[in-house]
Chain A
Amino acid sequence: MGKILVIAEHRDGKLSDGTKELCKVAKEMAEMSGNTAAAAVFSADDAIAKEVSKYIPEVLSGVDAKLAQYTADGYSQAAKSVIEAGDVAGVVISHGYDGVDFAAQVAMSIGAGIVSGINKVEFSDGKFVFTRNIYNGKLQEQRSVKTDKFVVTVEKGAWDKEAAGSEGTITSVDVAVGDVRTTVKEVIETTKGAVDISQAKLIVAGGRGTKDAEKYQATVVALAQKLKGEYGASRAVVDAGWTDHARQIGQSGKTVAPDLYIGLGLSGAIQHVAGMKGAKCIVAVNKDPEAPIFNIATYGIVGDLFEVVPAMIEALDS
């Protein structure tokens, strides 16, 4: 028996949704393997620990002034001391921006194997078997760890959020946080004052397949205007400068939930899907029949968007 230990993720006094998913995963893993589920919360006070205890039976609260703000050094040192103090079978961290920043450091510091971005877990012959996406989600692999303890990062949205219950037990734990080698200067909003597409009811979004800035305008923007909706983009389109960062949909951009989302020339990478899977009706137009977006779309057309979009505009006119 050991603990399947969640490392909670929070910012500005708010617990992340990803942490609630981690609580679900940890309970599932604990049940299949005969372990127990617990969470470690690192902060400057125990307010978040109280919140986390609604989702998991046991919370270990590590309080230190150096943990007021997330830093990779602060979190990995605190995690190491908690893992070494208790009987921890494995550590479960969210595959988000903070998680990928410190999870490997935790694994290396305790000498454990790490499997990142898992979206499924099974327990067979006494060990966990983790499934994860590879090759942009076109394939998946299964991997296990060879060390006594494991560290995994969990793909966002792969599990549902655990529902809140009554508060569980909270135990204070000593965390030894020494030298923190990075200094957080400030957190800035990069899309301040720009258009906000997060509340739009209809969104047409374009991906790399829209080819260039001019063609993105002629297809994505034109169709959005025809349908009196907003237009958005994948990361690749924003990186290439075909439209503004404020129109980026996905993990690093906006989260949208329109009644209708039309994706043009978009493969449906997991980071993009994270920001639009709440759409009620999803349409995908892509020339690659194996594009992952067809796995979440309501309707799909396998074809050339430069032929399909003008034909759609024509059909809307008649």
Chain B
Amino acid sequence: MKIVVCVKQVPDMESKFVVVDNKKIDEAQIAFKMNDFDEFAVEAALQIKEKMGGEVIIVSAGPERVVKDIRQAFAMGADWGIHIKDPEIDAGDSTVIASAIHKAIEKIGDADLVLTGVMSEDNQFTLTGVMLSHLMDIPHGTNIVKLEVADEKSITVNRELEGGLNEVIEMSLPAVLSIQSGLNQPRYPTLPGIMKAKKKRLDVMTAADLGLSEVGAAGSKTEFIKMFVPVSEHKAEIIEGDAKTAAAALVNKLKNEAKVI
């Protein structure tokens, strides 16, 4: 099985977010890491490879800093990867990113399975996987919480639904699956894994290398206007003081003001 995993580097959501000119976040204050959902996707791919044989290839788009997390996936056990490195691609919307990843997957050739995280924690679009399946003209499943590959022809997956329900669906391969968290327990890289990761093949490709002409704003079907810190109409009544004082005041309010305990 040839499995491609799309990995995105995102800010740690506990970072301090400062918006500059309503356009972007101040990266100086941000720690970057692999998108949580993508870690589950990498682990799922590695488990299939262990069972069926084959190779796991990482595709990731972004500036130089994303190499850290591509190598992280290599250290977990992925075999090689493509780094899509082009500011004009990064400047595009989901359509541009999906098109670039599609071209990279064509360069890899003969992928049996493409895995993505269900969404990226930064943009939260939840679009790339489905767009990829459309571009590749192959079936897809989203919010996958269980997957079983019986052979190289088809796959059975559980698609998460509301309220603890799962839909069990079957599709032929190749296919694109977007992975929900909790599907497995992603492994930690071992020290030998980290050492090997440094030497693994990582091809760097630009839009020109990928044969992608429409990038940036020209290739985008949506237009970013601005970003900002949301203003909430409601704010909690914050109870001040040290832990002991605040806790006592809270218990008092719950008993005598809200009358809920």
Listed in ascending order, the chain A residues whose CB lies under 8 Å from chain B are 11, 72-73, 95-97, 100-105, 107-109, 111-117, 129, 132-147, 153, 181-191, 202, 227, 235-236, 238-239, 241, 245-246, 248, 251-255, 259-260, 267, 280-284, 288, 290, 294-304, 307-309, 311-312, 314-316
B261 lies within 8 A of A112 (CB): no
B223 lies within 8 A of A185 (CB): no
Knowing A101-B159, A299-B236, the reply to whether A254 touches B222 (Cβ < 8 A) is: no
Rounded to whole angstroms, the CA-CA distance of A297 and B234 in the bound complex is 8
Rounded to whole angstroms, the CA-CA distance of A304 and B242 in the bound complex is 10
A303 lies within 8 A of B243 (CB): yes
A141 lies within 8 A of B139 (CB): no
B162 lies within 8 A of A315 (CB): no
**Interface status of B117 (Cβ within 8 A of chain A):** no
Chain B residues 34 to 67 lying within 8 A of chain A, measured CB to CB, are none
**Binary interface encoding of chain B residues 130-161 relative to chain A, with 1 for a CB under 8 A from any of its CBs, else 0:** 11011100111111000000000000101111
Which of chain B's residues have a CB closer than 8 A to the CB of A300?
236-239
Count A-B contacts at CB 8 Å: 256
**Interface status of B169 (Cβ within 8 A of chain A):** yes
Residue from A11, A134, A145, A288 within 8 A of B124 (CB atoms): A134
> What 6 pairs across the A-B complex have the smallest Cβ distances?
A113-B221, A311-B247, A300-B236, A307-B243, A297-B236, A239-B182
B250 lies within 8 A of A97 (CB): no
Rounded to whole angstroms, the CA-CA distance of A7 and B76 in the bound complex is 41
Which of chain A's residues have a CB closer than 8 A to the CB of B162?
96-97, 251-252
Closest to B130 in A: A104
B221 lies within 8 A of A104 (CB): no
B250 lies within 8 A of A301 (CB): yes
B19 lies within 8 A of A139 (CB): yes
Secondary structure class of chain B's binding surface, majority of residues? mixed
Q: How many residues of B contact A (CB 8 A)?
A: 79
Rounded to whole angstroms, the CA-CA distance of A260 and B260 in the bound complex is 6
**Interface status of B191 (Cβ within 8 A of chain A):** no
Rounded to whole angstroms, the CA-CA distance of A133 and B119 in the bound complex is 13
B171 lies within 8 A of A181 (CB): yes
Closest to A136 in B: B13
Shortest Cβ distance from A180 into chain B, in angstroms?
A: 9
Rounded to whole angstroms, the CA-CA distance of A104 and B116 in the bound complex is 15
B164 lies within 8 A of A252 (CB): yes
B131 lies within 8 A of A136 (CB): no
A114 lies within 8 A of B127 (CB): yes
Rounded to whole angstroms, the CA-CA distance of A105 and B139 in the bound complex is 11
Knowing A144-B222, A145-B221, A301-B247, the reply to whether A100 touches B235 (Cβ < 8 A) is: no
Which of chain B's residues have a CB closer than 8 A to the CB of A113?
93, 95, 220-222
Knowing A101-B143, A246-B164, the reply to whether A183 touches B224 (Cβ < 8 A) is: no
Closest to B161 in A: A97
**Binary interface encoding of chain B residues 218-232 relative to chain A, with 1 for a CB under 8 A from any of its CBs, else 0:** 001111111111101
**Interface status of B94 (Cβ within 8 A of chain A):** yes
Which of chain B's residues have a CB closer than 8 A to the CB of A143?
222-225
Which of chain A's residues have a CB closer than 8 A to the CB of B95?
113
Which of chain B's residues have a CB closer than 8 A to the CB of A115?
222
